Amino acid sequence: MDHFQLRNGELFAEDVPLARIADEVGTPVYVYSRATFERHARVFREGLAGLDRKPHIAFAVKSNPNLAVLSLLGREGYGADVVSGGEMARAIAAGIPAADIVFSGVGKTARELAAGLDERIGQFNIESEEEGVELAQIAAEMGLKAPCALRVNPDIDAGTHEKISTGKKDNKFGVPIDRAGEIYARLAALPGLDMRGLAVHIGSQLSELAPLEAAFLRLGELLGDIRAGGDSVTHMDLGGGLGVPYKKGEVFPSPADYGAMVARVTRGWDATLMFEPGRVIAGNAGVLLTRVIRVKRNANRDPFVIVDAAMNDLARPSLYGAWHDFDAVRPNGARMVANIVGPICETGDTFATGREIDAVGPGDLAVFRTAGAYGATMASSYNSRGFVAEVMVDGEEFAVVADRILPEAITAAERVPDFLKR
Ligand code: LLP
């Protein structure tokens, strides 16, 4: 359930007509709903109510790193799953306690590891033995012990898009499960590390629970082996990955279904479970509001609806062939079949091909739905288009939570060196 609904034939974000935001902030613009974020955060937490212990839930910052979003989720008691020094700094700036921050990622630099130690973050998810050894050394030099989980690659096909699958043995993530026990033991012996757990994340936008269940079962066996070997395991990080519907009518496993599966599989683990949801919290809490520039016809059967948003603003369709529902802000009841494209000079700048949509014409407003996760954060300034503004709605109020960054501001950071002027 989200709070982007039609009222008297016009699309609203909570109690604010989207047309008002377009008038005041311009388009394209990402619009987030506070109530939807909060609802998703609570529904996910409630889905985990049947666990033996209170879980630790860390929002995957990569899905939507906006400070207002992080601050909202921090107030809901969420920690942060970060994958760079930049994300860590944002989470802290948003008021999320360092103790609730989990640092994942295969390429943490020595500087980032040291920054995490400096901040006393709650957990490092180590992705290789090499990284563990390096972290141990840095921590020891600082007179600290780094709290760590070892990320395991369970060699499971998540059944999702190959670019967002992370748990197959050929992927770069985690350590191979058949070597995880020995690596854990070696790292646990290092004075700079406090090895306290295992972590797994097999991919994103999962439409089935079975691959997750299979991964958790493997992790559970490993937990037993490690404890039998004499090392302690107190935390089990089960990652994120739960998918969301992008098309009207699609049905996905609910957080309650997910929670029930997790409770069943992890019964008796005697460990604190940790989660890193991103999309399921943020996806349907945001839309990308855009205006139709013009409609043109080529040789194709279907016209091109050219909108002012492009692949640089919302990369998912061009990158993964992803579907985002497209709905008119003031639908007139008529329908049309069209190709929806942006202004960028690439054929890949296509949001939809031969799709039946609300009939729209020049000047009309429309939204791409389910753009709250992996939307604004994946933007670029390709074609010197600048970065889109972001707005958060709260009931009848709204605020710009990220300014539009104009092309001029980007150019201002560039310079022509003297040697080109001679
Ligand atoms: N934890 C780890 C270690 C991750 O790598 C990810 C996502 C998450 C948690 C959050 O996963 P989620 O709950 O959001 O599925 N840009 C792509 C998605 C990339 C996901 C990367 N990792 C997209 O637009 O679909």
Query: pLDDT by residue (tens digit) across 313-337?
Result: 999 999 999 999 999 999 999 999 9
pLDDT score at 96: 98
Are 293 and 226 members of one domain? no
pLDDT score at 162: 80
Are 196 and 345 members of one domain? no
C-alpha 265/C-alpha 108 separation (Å) is 31
Are 63 and 198 members of one domain? yes
Q: Which domain holds residue 300?
A: 4-31+283-411
C-alpha 381/C-alpha 401 separation (Å) is 19
Q: What is the pLDDT of residues 336-366, one digit of tens each?
A: 999 999 999 999 999 999 999 999 999 999 9
Q: Is 276's C-beta closer than 6 angstroms to any atom of ligand 1?
A: yes
Helix (H, G, I), strand (E, B) or coil at 15: coil
pLDDT score at 350: 98
User: What percent of the chain lies above the pLDDT cut of 70?
Assistant: 100
Residue 195: strand pairing partners: 148
pLDDT score at 300: 76
Q: So which residues are the catalytic ones?
A: 345
C-alpha 40/C-alpha 46 separation (Å) is 10
- Residue 165, pLDDT > 80, answer no
The encoded tokens of residue 297 equal 């016809």
Sequence-separated (6 or more) residues with CB below 8 Å from residue 49: 259
Q: For residue 420, is it within any domain?
A: no
The CATH number linked to 199 is 3.20.20.10
Is the whole model's pTM more than 0.90, yes or no?
yes
Q: Is 164's C-beta closer than 6 angstroms to any atom of ligand 1?
A: yes
Q: Which of 253, 281, 309 is the last residue of a domain?
A: 281
Which ligand 1 atom is nearest residue 240's CA? 13
pLDDT score at 159: 80
Q: Is 203's C-beta closer than 6 angstroms to any atom of ligand 1?
A: no
* pLDDT band, very low/low/confident/very high, at 172 (cuts 50, 70, 90): confident
Are 17 and 38 members of one domain? no
E-assigned strands of 264-303? 272-275, 286-296
Main-chain phi, psi angles of 284, to 5 degrees: -85, 10
Separation of CA 54 and ligand 1 centre (Å):
23
* pLDDT band, very low/low/confident/very high, at 247 (cuts 50, 70, 90): very high
Q: Which of 281, 297, 326 is the last residue of a domain?
A: 281
Residue nearest to atom 5 of ligand 1 (CA): 201
